[in-house]
Structure formats: C-alpha cells, structure tokens
C-alpha cells in the first residue's frame, strides 16, 4: 500500500529532469555521479553539455583526462570526474563498452559505490536494487521513527530499502523516495499536511518530523592562507600564464596557478618571496593583490596574489589566457586571474604601479604543499 501510494504520487508529481528521459546506463551513471553533493539545478547544464561532448562509453573512454576535467570545470569535487573516466575506460576495455547488468561486476568499477550501483541497477536495468542517499535516509528515518548512531541508522535503512525496493518499477520507486525527500520531506520544512504518505509516517504521527534523523555533528571548515603566483609571458592579446597540476592537492588534478600554503612565515610577503624564488628564481615580484577569499567543502581559503615574469621551473605549462575554457582550470584560479586583471586595470588609471619587490636569494622554508585529500567545492 505504501509502495503503490508513493508510486502514484511520483507518476503525478515528478520533476521533468533530463536524465529521466533515458534508460541508458551510461547516461544514468554520469547523472548520478554529477548529482553527488551537487544541486539538481546546477547539474542540468553540465549533464547536457557533458553528454553532448561524450555521448557514449567509447567517446568518454577515448578522451584525455584534461578534456574530461575541462567539461567538469566549475562543478567541483573533481575526483568524481576522474573516477568516472577511469570506470568508463574499464567498461570500454573489459566489457566491450556495455555497462554490466550484474551488480557485483559494476561494484568493482572505479567510482561506483553502493548508492550509484543501486541507481544504475534499478533505473537503467529495472532490477530490485536498493539505494540510500541523504534524501532516502531522512525519509525512511521519519517514516519509521528511527533514531540511532549514524552508522547504525544507515545500516537499518539499507536493510529496509532492500525489502521495499522489491516489486513493481524498482527504479521509479527509488526515484520516488528521493523525489519525496527533495521536494516534500525536506530537511527543515517538511510538508507533512500535504505529504502523500503521511498516513504511513511515524514522525507525522508524533508531530515531530524534525526529530528525525538525529542531527550530525558538523566539522567546521579549516581556515587556510595561501600565496599564489601569476607568472605570465607574451603581449596582452596573446598573453600566456604558467599553470601547474601539482602544487596543491585540493583541486583533484585541475590546472592551477602555482600556490603554497603559508604556514609559519612572519609575513605573507616573506612567504611569497620564498615561494616565488623556488618557482622562478630571482624575479621582480608585484603585489599582493587581494586577499581573495574562496570556500571549498572543508576549507576557507584566503589567497594573496603576486605577479611576476620569468622562466618557471618544475612541472607545468603555458596556457593562453584567452583559452582557459579549453583546459581543466580550477574555479579558484579563474577567480584569481579575474581579480588580478581587474586590479591591474584599476591600477593602470591615475595611480603608479606597485613597487617591484625582488625575490630573496635564499628561499626560507616558509611554505609547504597544501593540505591533501579535500576536493574542490562549488
Ligand atoms: Fe516526511 Fe512529513 Fe511526509 Fe512523514 S509526513 S514522510 S515527515 S513529509
């Protein structure tokens, strides 16, 4: 009864989303990866552009990582894109381009966790495979009046979903649970009086929907101070900037300005001089421009930007400032380059340019590579 009531509501009320017009497992895989930790409205244009550029498994498998990251640029959490790319390559090589119908085989692919596996299995292949995301967890917790530690709660809810998904239209059923969580049983303002399944709901019976699930303890974002170096060459119309993939691990392989974290420098200027010397040797340094502030999922960045010319050392490449869109360049680097050119335009007015600063001969150990393992936020 609960199942059929929910399915009828979904049939009437579901939003018209582009990935709901297909049963192609590859397209559903792409949509599910993009939707992780990202709002539906944000994902729609990326999904459409990505599938227009890479419409099939072979087209994505044969693309370079930088092409894939360029199409993902701005969506954040770039590790998702790299894992999707690796997974699709494996499907191309091992399974002749066909996403396996067997859940055990799909689960071994890079980037396919339990949730994504259930989404592909139920939506694309119509199999009774459960899925639990944040929406489902909240809805089932409220419907059943469940409270437990996060780990226990998740375990119980997977078990409940395994039972519930068996029956007619498992893909629609899974999507209906998620849709209810996204549009009716929302985290802070659940619409209980008009909810299609209110008569089955324990939290509604108790008039206490917000008591479920128990709130999570949030880890506050860490403040990180950075210096960034804009090294350019060439005339204004053909100017190029030096970008690198290696300086910080915050951005999952995207191209960035050379950047370093300021750890214990007496001043950011000392850190900048030391860092610049390690990249371009003795060079005239201008700045700082900024500070520019940028939020990632678990970091609050404050960046001082310095400009200089010279011949950079180490891994990196020159990228035309006019062609940034063709490369996987991080949102932060685009923002810093935008701020730099805006401030330079302002300074080209009545004021004189900033006094050049010479990088010190002997770099001090005032910087270290940036923190690892976090992904870029939106
Ligand atoms: Fe959520 Fe309220 Fe519906 Fe229960 S009745 S599922 S708490 S919206």
The pLDDT tens digits for 190-211 are: 999 999 999 999 999 999 999 9
% of the chain exceeding 70 in pLDDT:
88
Cα–ligand 1 centroid distance for 195 (angstroms): 6
Cα–ligand 1 centroid distance for 121 (angstroms): 27
User: Would you say residue 349 has pLDDT above 70?
Assistant: no
Cα–ligand 1 centroid distance for 136 (angstroms): 12
Contact yes or no for 129/169 (Cβ under 8 A): no
| pLDDT for position 252 | 66
Alpha helices in 125-187 (DSSP H): 134-144, 150-164, 170-183
Phi, psi at 29, each rounded to 5°: -60, -50
Specify the 3-state DSSP secondary structure of 166.
Answer: coil
Q: Which of 141, 203, 212 to mutate to test the pocket of ligand 1 (most atoms within 8 A of CB)?
A: 203
User: Would you say residue 368 has pLDDT above 80?
Assistant: no
Cα–ligand 1 centroid distance for 22 (angstroms): 29
Q: Which atom of ligand 1 is nearest to the CA of 202?
A: 4
198 lines ligand 1 (CB under 6 A): yes
Please tell me the pTM assigned to this model. Answer: 0.69
Find the helix or strand (DSSP H, E) in which 89 lies. helix 78-94
Contact yes or no for 9/176 (Cβ under 8 A): yes
User: Would you say residue 143 has pLDDT above 90?
Assistant: yes
Which residues is 243 bridged to in the sheet? Answer: 317
Dig out the tokens for 231 from the structure.
Answer: 């090294």
Q: Which atom of ligand 1 is nearest to the CA of 184?
A: 8
* CA–CA separation, 268 and 271 (whole Å): 5
Categorize the per-residue pLDDT at 48 as very low, low, confident or very high, splitting at 50, 70 and 90.
very high
Q: Give the residue whose CA is nearest to atom 7 of ligand 1.
A: 209
204 lines ligand 1 (CB under 6 A): yes
Q: Give the residue whose CA is nearest to atom 1 of ligand 1.
A: 185
User: Would you say residue 186 has pLDDT above 70?
Assistant: yes
Mean of pLDDT values over 161-182:
97
| pLDDT for position 191 | 97
Cα–ligand 1 centroid distance for 122 (angstroms): 24
Residue with the larger pLDDT of the pair 197 and 371: 197
Contact yes or no for 323/238 (Cβ under 8 A): no
The pLDDT tens digits for 208-258 are: 999 999 887 778 889 999 999 999 888 877 889 999 986 666 676 788 999
The pLDDT tens digits for 79-137 are: 899 999 999 999 999 999 999 999 999 999 999 999 999 999 999 999 999 999 999 99
Q: Could you give the residue numbers annotated as active site? A: 32
138 lines ligand 1 (CB under 6 A): no
209 lines ligand 1 (CB under 6 A): yes
The pLDDT tens digits for 304-315 are: 999 888 888 888
């Amino acid at each position: 009864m609960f199942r059929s009531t929910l399915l009828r509501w979904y049939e009437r009320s579901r939003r018209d989303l582009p990935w709901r017009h297909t049963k192609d497992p590859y397209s559903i895989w792409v949509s599910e990866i993009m939707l992780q930790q990202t709002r539906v409205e944000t994902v729609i244009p990326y999904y459409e552009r990505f599938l227009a550029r890479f419409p099939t498994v072979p087209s994505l498998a044969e693309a370079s990582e930088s092409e894939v990251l360029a199409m993902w640029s701005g969506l954040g959490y770039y590790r998702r894109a790299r894992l999707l790319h690796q997974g699709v390559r494996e499907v191309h090589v091992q399974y002749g381009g066909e996403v396996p119908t067997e859940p055990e085989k799909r689960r071994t692919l890079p980037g396919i966790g339990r949730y994504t596996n259930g989404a592909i299995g139920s939506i694309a292949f119509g199999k009774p495979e459960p899925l639990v995301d944040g929406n489902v967890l909240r809805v089932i917790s409220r419907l059943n009046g469940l409270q437990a530690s996060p780990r226990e709660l998740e375990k119980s809810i997977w078990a409940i979903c395994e039972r519930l998904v068996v029956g007619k239209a498992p893909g629609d059923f899974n999507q209906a649970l998620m849709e209810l969580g996204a549009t009716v049983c929302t985290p802070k303002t659940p619409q209980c009086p008009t909810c299609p399944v209110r008569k089955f709901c324990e939290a509604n019976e108790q008039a206490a929907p917000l008591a479920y699930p128990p709130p999570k303890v949030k880890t506050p974002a860490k403040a990180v101070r950075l210096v960034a170096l804009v090294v350019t060459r060439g005339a204004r119309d053909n100017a190029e900037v030096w970008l690198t993939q290696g300086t910080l691990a915050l951005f999952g392989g995207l191209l960035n300005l050379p950047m370093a974290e300021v750890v214990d420098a007496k001043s950011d200027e000392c850190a900048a001089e030391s860092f610049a010397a390690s990249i371009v040797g003795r060079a005239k340094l201008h700045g700082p421009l900024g500070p520019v502030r940028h939020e990632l999922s678990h970091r609050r960045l404050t960046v001082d930007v310095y400009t200089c010319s010279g011949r950079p050392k180490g891994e990196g490449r020159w990228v035309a400032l006019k062609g940034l869109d063709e490369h996987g360049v991080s949102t932060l680097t685009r923002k810093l380059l935008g701020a730099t050119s805006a401030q330079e335009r302002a300074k080209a007015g009545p004021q004189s340019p900033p006094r050049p600063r010479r990088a010190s001969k002997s770099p001090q150990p005032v910087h270290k590579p940036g923190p690892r393992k976090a992904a870029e936020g939106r």
